[in-house]
Every structure is written in C-alpha cells, then in structure tokens.
Amino acid sequence: MSSAPNVAIVGVTGAVGQEFLRVLDQRNFPIGNLKLLASKRSAGKTIDFKGKTYTVEELTEDSFGDVDLALFSAGGSISKKFGPIASEAGATVVDNSSAFRMVPEIPLVVPEVNPEAVKGIELGKGGIIANPNCSTIIMLVPVTPIHRAVGVKRMVVSTYQAASGAGAAAMAELEQQTREVLEGKEPTCDIFPRQYAFNIFSHNAPITETGYNEEEMKMVKETHKIWGKNDIQIAATCVRVPVMRAHAESINLELENPIDEKEVKELLSKAPGVSIIDDRAGNNFPTPLEASNKDDIFVGRIRNDISRKGTGVCGIELFVCGDQVRKGAALNAVQIAELLVK
C-alpha cells in the first residue's frame, strides 16, 4: 500500500488484544486510522495508544467499511461470524483463533517458517490468514531450521503451558488461587474445574476419540499443514502448569539424516527468532520467566538422544520456552501483517 493501512483490533480488551497494541507500538507498525473493537459490554472504555486516547467501539457487521487490516483475537465463534464479514468489506484479516486454521484455502503462517504462504494476498483487498496455535508456533520456530537441514521423521513433544494460554481471566484466577491457598482458604475455580495453583493437570481441551486432546491434535495437524508434509509422525502431551506467562516444551526429534548436538547448536544460533541458553556447566537453561515479554523462542538442553546410540537412528533433544501471549499470539500476527506491508 502507498499509505499506512487503517487497522482494527477485534477483542482489544483481552490479554492478546492488549498485547497487539504493545507490539504495534514497539515495532512502529504503520497505522493510518486505528479502530478498537470489542463486545457491547466493553464499548465506551478508553485506551491510550501512542499519546492518543481511543474509545472502544462495539463490534458489529458495519465495523469494517474503512479497515485495511483487522487483527482478531476474540475467540473462534466471533471469528467465524465476523472474519468473513470483514474480508468481504475489504479488510485483510489475521485471525488468532482456531476458526480457520485447517481450512485448506486459508494460509496458516509462522513468518520464520512459511512466509511464502501469504503470496498473492494484498492488504486492504480482503482475505483471511490464520495464526497457528501458540504451542505449534513455539515448537516450529526452533525445529524448522533442523527440519530444513536434515529432515524430521518423528517428533514427540510435551508442553508445560502457562495460564496466559487461557487468557487474562485464567491469569487472574491463578493469582487469586495462590493467595487463597497460602491463606488456607478454598481456592476459587471458575476458569478451570480444579485447583491450578501449586498443581499441574492435563490441558483442559476436550479429549478426542484417539485419547489425545484437541490442543495436542492441533500441534499435529497444524505442523503438517505449515510444513506441507503429512507423513511426519508427531505425538504431543499438553499440560497446564501454574506459571503466569510463557510456555515451555520438551521436544524429541527423530531425524532422517545425521546431525550432532554441536551442529544443531550452531544451526540454531543463526536461526531467526531463536535465542540459545545452553550452559551445561552452570546448569542454566531456558525458563518461562526469562522468556516472558520477549520476542524470541529460547532454546536449551540441546543434546543427542542417548536412547538412539548404536541404533543407526539420529535423535536430538531440545527444551524451549516462548511467550504465549507475544510470539505465540500477538507478535506472530503482527509479523504476518508486516509481510503484507512490505
């Protein structure tokens, strides 16, 4: 576009919506007019952005007539209803929900991995682009350089997912529960049906007929779509941990061709969006606290899989941490938008 695009943020009062504003500001994303949209109950609230005060408007079918770019983070049902309406009105939609991820004709994009997927989409001329699941993004940013170099044959991943993945209300409830438990009170369990503070439990997504929950299956299906390969074997186990922000993942890779841990470390040291914390002598590796409010995915515990020794199969282990609200959601969406502005 010859001029700065008019931008709308749908779901601006939520955790990711607020992060959209911070990321847009910090990255100096070009904005003509800015429209902040949310539910009827949030309409009328004011939000400051770059020295100007904006009034939140109610999201309606008429909200997108003058919008070039619409960043959605208001849940799947809202996206399913209003995403096509926004696109029909001429806004290019980048959607953070799961509503469109597996629709064949809609690109599912991690800019460090498959930026070519947005080819042909012009800002301000409609179209929908899907933001992947946060756990998929955090996994694929460091694993894709390895896949490109030697090929991933099989991947087993276990996630340790923070409250941020369930939104601002879950983060608030974790804080509240922590105080209540320390005071000897019965914890409030409105967001999750069980105590979250000082506990871990299987991810709250519904269990499918395979025995895997929907969060785990998202990691499988989305990786196949993003990489364009359906023959890679992937198994995931997703759990909630009482961490406020930033997810962690333990990743085991079976590779098509040999590579050793030193070569992997060298490869990842040059990969976009990756920072390495891998100090064996100091037992210093990535933590959610270090990853919180950061753009990069932090990688450590880079090591050869000793269970593969003598088998003729090459295996590599990684431990990664990434900010779910940021790279797992808002930042990735803004980076997609940046691909369209260039």
- pLDDT score, position 304: 97
Tell me the three state secondary structure of residue 225: helix
Compute φ and ψ for 55, nearest 5 degrees. -100, 130
The stretch 297-301 carries a mean pLDDT of 98
pLDDT classification of 36: cutoffs 50, 70, 90: very high
Percentage of the chain with pLDDT > 90?
Answer: 96
Residues 6 or more apart whose CB falls under 8 angstroms from that of 130 comprise 95, 99, 100, 101, 103, 106, 107, 108, 109
- pLDDT score, position 170: 94
The stretch 91-105 carries a mean pLDDT of 97
pLDDT classification of 168: cutoffs 50, 70, 90: confident
pLDDT classification of 273: cutoffs 50, 70, 90: very high
- pLDDT score, position 342: 74
Selecting among 147, 203, 238, 247, the annotated active-site residue is 247
The stretch 72-80 carries a mean pLDDT of 95
Q: Are strands 233-240 and 201-202 parallel, antiparallel or unpaired?
A: antiparallel
How confident is the model over 242-257, as pLDDT tens digits?
999 999 999 999 999 9
- pLDDT score, position 31: 97
- pLDDT score, position 2: 59
Mean of per-residue pLDDT scores for the chain: 96
The stretch 129-137 carries a mean pLDDT of 97
The stretch 56-74 carries a mean pLDDT of 96
- pLDDT score, position 49: 96
Domains in the chain, start-ordered, CATH in brackets?
7-130 (3.40.50.720), 135-162+201-240+243-324 (3.30.360.10)
Selecting among 134, 238, 314, 321, the annotated active-site residue is 134
Written as one string, the DSSP assignment of 289-336 is HHHTT-SSEEEEEEEE-GGGTTTT-EEEEEEEEE-TTIIIIIHHHHHH
Alpha-carbon gap, residue 218 to 136, rounded angstroms: 8
pLDDT classification of 323: cutoffs 50, 70, 90: very high
Judged against a pLDDT cut of 80, whether residue 179 lies above it is answered with yes
Compute φ and ψ for 69, nearest 5 degrees. -135, 125
Compute φ and ψ for 12, nearest 5 degrees. -65, -25
Q: Are 71 and 37 in contact (CB under 8 A)?
A: no
- pLDDT score, position 164: 92
How far the first Cα of the chain sits from its last, in Å, is 8
Is residue 314 among the annotated active site residues? no
Of 190, 239, 234, 191, give the one whose Cα is nearest residue 213. 239
- For the stretch 38-41, contacts whose Cβ atoms lie closer than 8 Å and that sit 24 or more positions apart, written own/partner, are 38/10, 38/11, 38/12, 38/13, 38/14, 38/74, 39/74
- pLDDT score, position 220: 97
Other Cβ atoms closer than 10 A to 119 = 8
Is residue 247 among the annotated active site residues? yes
- pLDDT score, position 1: 60
How confident is the model over 191-250, as pLDDT tens digits?
999 999 999 999 999 999 999 999 999 999 999 999 999 999 999 999 999 999 999 999
